[in-house]
Amino acid sequence: MKNASHILSSLRHRPQFKKLARFACIKRIQALFPPHLQRLVRYGYIHNKTVYFVLSHPGAKQEFDNIIDSIKMPLKLHLPKECLGVGFDDIRAYVTHKRPTPPVTRHPTSYHFKERSKASFKNDISNYKLHTIIEKTRRIIHARNN
């Protein structure tokens, strides 16, 4: 009987699920960072054979720049098994200053206004459907005024 991790690992090697392999590779590289730096990584992605990590603080970027060479050299010598199908040449990071937007709570809007029309207009339309629609509107206006 196969467990879930075995099924996911077999799916990662199929071409249609290439994104799963990239995600596992990025998570494996992120696991090589020190724990305090791992918490400051918002997300990572691969673009043009470069792995980018988006950090949430400028201090984390400075520390990342200081330790990145000690991470790149072992990765060039021995890639983790999660990254064998994913090709990348460089690892970079940048800081995003966007704060997560709080969810917007929407309140249902109800309009309450007094009807100002008296429905005192002529209905000279010869089309039967339009004539009945206008008469229904006239009855609704009369009902609101009473």
Q: What is the pTM of this model?
A: 0.58
Instruction: Provide mean pLDDT across the span 29-52.
Output: 89
pLDDT score for 7: 81
Higher pLDDT, 5 or 95: 95
pLDDT(63) > 70: yes
pLDDT score for 111: 75
DSSP 96-133: --PPPPPPPP-PPP------------------HHHHHH
The values of phi and psi at residue 53, to 5°, are -115, 130
pLDDT(40) > 60: yes
Instruction: Provide mean pLDDT across the span 37-47.
Output: 90
Any idea which fold 7-95 has? GMP Synthetase; Chain A, domain 3 (3.30.300)
pLDDT band at 1 (very low <50, low <70, confident <90, very high): low
pLDDT score for 119: 81
Cβ atoms < 10 Å from Cβ of 55:
21
Tens of pLDDT, residues 115-143: 778 888 888 899 999 999 999 998 988 88
**Which 3 state secondary structure label does DSSP give 44?**
strand
Pairing of strands 50-55, 90-95: parallel
Note the maximum CA span of the chain: 89
The values of phi and psi at residue 133, to 5°, are -65, -45
pLDDT(100) > 70: no
Instruction: Provide mean pLDDT across the span 27-33.
Output: 89
